[in-house]
A and B are shown apart, each in its own frame.
Chain A
Amino acid sequence: MEPVLEFKNVSKHYPQPSTGVLKALDDVSFSIQTGRTLAITGRSGSGKSTLLHLAAGIDVPSAGTVSFVGRDLGELSDRDRTLIRRDGVGLVFQFFYLLPHLTVWENVSLPAWIASDAGMEERGRDLLERVGLTAHASQEASKLSGGEMQRVAICRALLRKPRLLLADEPTGNLDDGNSEIVMDLLMKLVDEEEGTLLYVTHSDEQAAQADERLALHSGKLGPA
């Protein structure tokens, strides 16, 4: 079966004023099948976020190919990559990135608005209920705690049933108790929805919850 996401010999170079180029990713290859979860660990600066950006089509590789369900993202225009991201990818960030001035409900609905996708209200309510935030729906997002914010962000990411969910250190900004709650919720929801999840983390414990694990070391991908 065709993998949801496939990296083939992907490198990402950033030009550097003093040392020439910085190899944020160096010849990275891996793939992930529908319904699977993959955790990538690595130190700070090892290239985790860079990898996720490439996976989401936010950025394009310097060499190699990134394919989303068989389509080479590097070959596509910015607009087409954006549409693939809109319709096929969900993103969860370390810093939540909720819009503070929007309500919880509006934050969750944002992807539907962007896609002009009517009829997502039912789904939004359902998700909020499953993360236990129905009562907060009309509250401004800035008034929430960190753990609540990340739960909202997960709802936002899952709203349009993306084929691939990408999470960049989803608990990186939470205390231990909240980290556990959020991680469990994420795994549970992905499982229920039969989604595909790629997440990066510092924590070995969290990485262990995935079906597969890989590790990044200075831009090189290897077994954990």
Chain B
Amino acid sequence: MIRYFFRALRAQLHGGLSLFALSLFGVSIGVAAVVSIQIINLNALSAFSGSMRAVSGGADVTIVGKMPSLSEDTYPRVLATPGVEAAWPLFRLDVVAEDLDFYLEVIGVDFFTPIDLPWEGASVDLSAALGEPGWVAVTPTLAREKGWELGDRLEVSVGTRKAELVIGAFSDFQKATPLASTRLAVMDIAQAQSLFGARGQLHQIDVKIFEDVDQGDVIAELERSLGTQVLVLTPEQREQQASDLLSAFRLNLTALSFISLFVGGFLVFSSTQASLVRRRTEFGLLRSLGATHRQVMGLLVGDVLLLGLLGVAVGMPLGYLAAEANVDRVSATVTNLYLLDAINQLEVPAWFFLLAAAVGLFSAGLGALMPALELGRKDTRALLAAFSLHERVGARAPRAFLLGVGLMFLGGILYWLVGDRWRPAGFIQAFLLIAAVPLVTPLLVQGATGLLRVRSFGLAYGMKGLGKQLQTTSVAIAALAVAVSMVVGVTTMVASFRETLAIWIEATVQADVYVSTPAWRRSRRRAVLDASVIEVLARHPAVEQVDRLRQFFAYTNGRRFSFAGVDARAPGEKTRFALLEGEMLGAELGGIMVGEPLARKEHLSVGDDLVIDGPKGPVALPIKGIYYDYSSELGSAFTHLETMAKHFGDGPVNSVALYLEQGVDSEHVVDELKTSLADVPLTIRSNRRIREQALLVFDQTFAITRLLRYMSLLIAVTGVALTLIVLARERSAELALYRALGATRLQIFRVFLGKGLGMALIGIVLGSLAGVVFAFILIYVVNRAFFGWTIFVHWPIGLLVQQSLVILGASVLASLYPARVASRVPATELRREDL
């Protein structure tokens, strides 16, 4: 039988090379889509974990503060805790160097504590490290990249404060942990504190626990003695925290990538069924010659296995390349939106390849399952005759349709029951929808083609024929519809989001000029605007009003959010915030405004208190209003600067918004301010620039979904080509009959173009309808449940029409080759018995 398998394989490849190649293509792209997303997801956190291991590798637990820095008595208390073998304090600060986009992660360490640093070359001259102002060790990789040498000087800034670093040594973190950020820089802790004006401040304490004591006990003891102001975290917990940050982003990408694989599965289904139909005589003969059912099944499984394996073999490298091509975009998202380390390099562990292979084989197997089950029936030959298959699909169409409608109904009930309150609901609904599409397809194809009145042998005749070969056509149409629904759904969601964001920015970004510092994006609270700078800004003749903003991350109920203090506007002036509920803060102090994502996640509404961990215990502020907020999925809240100072102490301002006199050109003012404050590290942006940049970041974040959308479309269009080739082969007798009855080649060509066009049209219409539902699921369920914000639906009609035309065009292009094959079938082929 094995020998027969290979012999048959050869014959089959010979007879249906294009068929095999197309299904292979589909499987490969499907695998590539999943592989690329998984590689990116896998590596999204790698830099964070790598850096963490590089810096705190020797520690069992790490203590960080909920407040921006740890209080001074924390370190002695940690040392005094029983079970603690050693503990060493760290000073951590992200500083901006040279151009704005480049930052260094400065780590101040006490060189006398047992911290292992991977010095390059001989050990380091500690007297220089301690004595030379600004002495810093950077990674050799970064030094090479920037062309630095020992002794080079480096201007850096945090907020408006500047400092000069001197490269004193190289510490090769990548040698021990290859994925660690290349931007790690080490210096003496006392030096760092004085250099950046933070005497006595600590940000992290790494703790080593005795081997023979219970780690859990020590952690509990630390938590008890240090109070609620700190978090005591194991490395696993820290990784988990970072991973939670990205989870929604990663999960959504994964879900989208699996749609591609799903569509690829349809292709396997089509081609398996086609090869079964083609080989039914052969299988029947083998059976009559005494081959067991098992053996025949084995032949088929062998085919599918081969397809799956080749699909994985091609798809995996393809996926890696796609990941590599897109890693920068995702990396930008990870750093911009989630403030994690950039992805430096992609690393793919061995187990991943096994997993990918399993996924590829599994989906190929799943695609082949149904046709293979057909083979198990008694009279293989008759059952698999194209016409009887068609009849059976046709007979089952109404039932399948009802089932499909039932599934959608189920999704509706689920929405009615749990809405956006249960996270998996969105994915279940999306799955139900995607499962329903293929079920409703046959009846719809029958109905749509049944409406066609054919008067001549051309495009319309070809389209009408689609309803006459349901077993083949409905699969491809369903695959296309699924892909289109995803494209329409995601396009609509992204466009709606963008529009919502644009309107929100329009409403929120109302000052004329915004001033912050280059370090602001990463260092937040510590990126401080010096009071003298604010004075200079206020003195500019065109500036009418200066709104100050102070911002840091705070905790409520264990959840980190962005907390801001602002200058409340004078009452009666137009509010900057679009409100979801309640009203804007007035002149009266003490209240707080909460953003929608935070309110949703913490189930807060107007009148409730937001309880924030403060330096002297919890602070409860009554919620005055809830505003639309798309700034960060973490959530945000703001109050008066005065209220913030009262509960959290006085603090410096991080950025200001300037309102100019009527009629003044803000770009001009920006230029003037830049000149007059040339030696201060500042980011001064006009209203227009800040809006542009916000949308730029948005576009960057969603760029990766475009790749996924196109991948699944590519597979679906391949499905159209595949189906038409199957039709051209299966139905060669029919084509020969047309030729015998006097149809010209050109006419046959047109009939086939009609089929391609018809499949595309039905697929697009059905897919668009499903896509509308898909968009609603994404907008009202998935985004609300995962991110907590309200997106206002906006139909990108022009874009959707344009995409539909592209799909239509692609399908027609994909029909050209099959149409040519069909048109070349000679009338002499009519020798065959079956029609």
| A contacts, CB < 8 Å to B | 49, 53, 56, 58-59, 78-79, 82-83, 85-87, 89, 91, 93, 95, 97-102, 106, 110-111, 113-116, 118, 142, 156
Are the CB atoms of B835 and A58 closer together than 8 Å? no
Interface 9-mer from B187-195, B732-740, B763-771 = B732-740
Contacts of B469 in A (CB 8 A): 101
Given A49-B831, A56-B827, A89-B742, 17 more A-B residue pairs with CB atoms under 8 Å apart are A58-B826, A58-B827, A58-B828, A59-B828, A82-B739, A86-B742, A86-B743, A87-B742, A91-B740, A95-B835, A97-B830, A99-B835, A100-B387, A100-B835, A110-B738, A113-B456, A114-B742
Nearest CB on A from B746, distance (A): 8
Q: Does B455 interact with chain A (Cβ within 8 Å)?
A: yes
Query: From A95, which residue of chain B is reached at the shortest CB distance?
Result: B833
Are the CB atoms of B457 and A116 closer together than 8 Å? yes
Query: From A115, which residue of chain B is reached at the shortest CB distance?
Result: B742
Are the CB atoms of B835 and A98 closer together than 8 Å? yes
Are the CB atoms of A101 and B741 closer together than 8 Å? no
Contacts of A93 in B (CB 8 A): 830
- For the complex, give the distance between the alpha carbons of A142 and B827 in Å: 22
Contacts of B830 in A (CB 8 A): 58, 93, 97
* Chain A CB within 10 Å, residue with most, of B454, B733, B827: B827
- For the complex, give the distance between the alpha carbons of A115 and B739 in Å: 12
Are the CB atoms of B835 and A114 closer together than 8 Å? no
* Chain A CB within 10 Å, residue with most, of B455, B469, B747, B835: B835
Nearest CB on A from B210, distance (A): 81
Contacts of A99 in B (CB 8 A): 468, 734, 737, 835
- For the complex, give the distance between the alpha carbons of A93 and B741 in Å: 11
Contacts of B745 in A (CB 8 A): 78-79, 82
Are the CB atoms of B740 and A79 closer together than 8 Å? no
Query: From B733, which residue of chain A is reached at the shortest CB distance?
Result: A97
Contacts of B53 in A (CB 8 A): none
Are the CB atoms of A116 and B456 closer together than 8 Å? yes
- For the complex, give the distance between the alpha carbons of A78 and B746 in Å: 11
Q: Does B744 interact with chain A (Cβ within 8 Å)?
A: yes
* Chain B CB within 10 Å, residue with most, of A82, A85, A95, A98: A82
Contacts of A86 in B (CB 8 A): 741-743
- For the complex, give the distance between the alpha carbons of A116 and B454 in Å: 11
Q: Does B521 interact with chain A (Cβ within 8 Å)?
A: no
Nearest CB on A from B467, distance (A): 8
Q: Does B390 interact with chain A (Cβ within 8 Å)?
A: yes
Contacts of B738 in A (CB 8 A): 110, 114
- For the complex, give the distance between the alpha carbons of A98 and B387 in Å: 13
Q: What are 7 residue pairs bridging A and B, where the CB atoms are less than 8 Å apart in the complex?
A: A85-B740, A99-B734, A99-B835, A101-B465, A113-B457, A114-B738, A118-B455
Query: From B390, which residue of chain A is reached at the shortest CB distance?
Result: A101
Nearest CB on A from B518, distance (A): 70
Q: Does B461 interact with chain A (Cβ within 8 Å)?
A: yes
Given A86-B742, A91-B740, A116-B456 in contact, is the A101-B828 Cβ separation under 8 Å?
no
Nearest CB on A from B35, distance (A): 41
Are the CB atoms of A111 and B742 closer together than 8 Å? yes
Given A56-B740, A113-B457 in contact, is the A97-B747 Cβ separation under 8 Å?
no
Contacts of A53 in B (CB 8 A): 827-828
Are the CB atoms of B454 and A142 closer together than 8 Å? no
Contacts of A87 in B (CB 8 A): 742
Contacts of B740 in A (CB 8 A): 56, 58, 85, 91, 97
Nearest CB on A from B3, distance (A): 24
Contacts of B742 in A (CB 8 A): 82-83, 85-87, 89, 111, 114-115
Contacts of A83 in B (CB 8 A): 742, 744
Given A53-B828, A113-B461 in contact, is the A82-B744 Cβ separation under 8 Å?
yes
Nearest CB on B from A178, distance (A): 19
Contacts of A95 in B (CB 8 A): 833, 835
Q: Report B605-625 residues with CB < 8 Å from chain A CB.
A: none
- For the complex, give the distance between the alpha carbons of A114 and B827 in Å: 15
Query: From B835, which residue of chain A is reached at the shortest CB distance?
Result: A97
Contacts of B465 in A (CB 8 A): 101
- For the complex, give the distance between the alpha carbons of A115 and B745 in Å: 13
**Which of the residues B390, B454, B741, B833 comes within 8 Å of A111, measured between beta carbons?**
B741
Nearest CB on B from A69, distance (A): 16
Q: Report B455-488 residues with CB < 8 Å from chain A CB.
A: 455-457, 461, 465, 468-469
Nearest CB on B from A109, distance (A): 8
